[in-house]
A and B are shown apart, each in its own frame.
Chain A
């Protein structure tokens, strides 16, 4: 397994994609490969792209890849789509927008399903970023969908977070006020040729005007017009690319890269502890049937979750 890590570092595409697969599938020996590559990580600029479904994240990602390749940077992409909670299957369709880069050796695109497990997304994404990083990608774009925990999670892994908004999706700013709006380093209003774009711009601007920016970075708002107008769309994405570079420069100059790095390692440590301590306990409880037994006890109100948890922690943590 360590061998896979070495081969991925040497630029072997099959080894890298296999390694990411093993991370997703949670194959236990994969940690050996991660241990091997970990010291070499931390070189790439990790950019998170998030926003509601249909906001245009993949289309923007595609154009960003194009622009970054023109600027002679190598690009890795992790495109995350949801796993069906009912069947465990997933339909991963982000790649459909990025086909034109399929033959470019400087671009590696990988689709990931959320798989739904506790901390699952962040663990696969975090380690997946490491793999792309040691492959030598200059920029790693992480595209995450949806609302809720997952997209806020992205700040624990990205240096720069882009939040993509679109007009006409209802009471936009209300819906995303908590969480999402706070994590943005750059706002993009996509489909800015549509009705409501000005209003959305003003609302976002008002929100920013009432904020303060202790890090000295005020998130800019960029308007992107329809990708059906390739020239103006390309020009807008060029500007977005400039802003991404500018933000990274800001982090470097203000010595703020370390803060982001701290966030990432804390997240990774939490994930690793969960995998090493909590998950074995949970699977043992499930295997012995004890978990179901506890559920019954809770249903009959014989006991409560806290008492049960205390009992279990006594047993496993020798306290």
Chain B
């Protein structure tokens, strides 16, 4: 039976070891029926993009709590584009000040989730916006 499942890559770019949030999300996504590839901390944008392409995911979720999101998130979006993989949606989460949001959206991020975002709201966003690519 044909059964398209949503596949998501979760990654923490840069020098940031605080992955509790990402782990909670990984589990939440599993429980929501998605297939989640969790790749852990301390990754370069190159590693994340390489993994996203090999895994044929529909979405990349980036978590960053170290303040380097302005550099790291756009780097991932840009490299996906360079590899012809801009059909993979990129979203981000973490401590992201209000004034940083527009530049990140401009760089190609489709959603940003900050402290206070409920797990349900994130899952709902995915169900609404991410369609497995044909």
Please report A residues at the B interface, Cβ cutoff 8 Å: 13-14, 17-18, 20-21, 24-28, 83-84, 87-93, 95-96, 99, 102-103, 108-111, 113, 115, 117, 279, 283
Contacts and interface: CB of A to CB of B under 8 A. Distances in A.
A141 B38 CA distance: 20
Given A110-B54, A279-B1, A95 B39 contact: yes
A225 B48 CA distance: 30
Given A26-B2, A111-B55, A283-B1, A99 B39 contact: yes
Contact of B46 (A25, A89, A103): A103
Interface size class of B (residues with CB under 8 A): 35 or more
A14 B53 contact: yes
B53 A89 contact: no
A28 B55 CA distance: 20
Interface in B15-41: 26-27, 29-40
Chain B binding site: helix, strand, loop or mixed by DSSP?
mixed
Contacts of A88: 5, 33
A109 B39 contact: no
Contacts of B48: 102
B43 interface: yes
B38 A96 contact: yes
Given A25-B3, A27-B2, A90 B36 contact: yes
A108 B29 contact: no
B103 to A, nearest CB: 27
Contact of A25 (B2, B32, B39, B54): B2
Contacts of A91: 26-27, 29-30, 36, 38
Contact of B43 (A99, A113, A117): A99
A89 B34 contact: yes
A25 B51 CA distance: 19
Nearest to A90: B35
B1 A26 contact: yes
Contacts of B53: 13-14, 17
Contacts of A84: 30-31
Given A25-B3, A26-B2, A87 B33 contact: yes
Contacts of A20: 56
B37 A102 contact: no
B40 A96 contact: yes
11 contacts: A14-B53, A17-B54, A26-B3, A83-B35, A87-B32, A89-B35, A91-B27, A91-B36, A96-B38, A102-B50, A115-B3
Contacts of B27: 91
Contact of B40 (A28, A99, A109): A99
Contacts of A113: 5, 35
B47 interface: yes
A173 B34 CA distance: 36
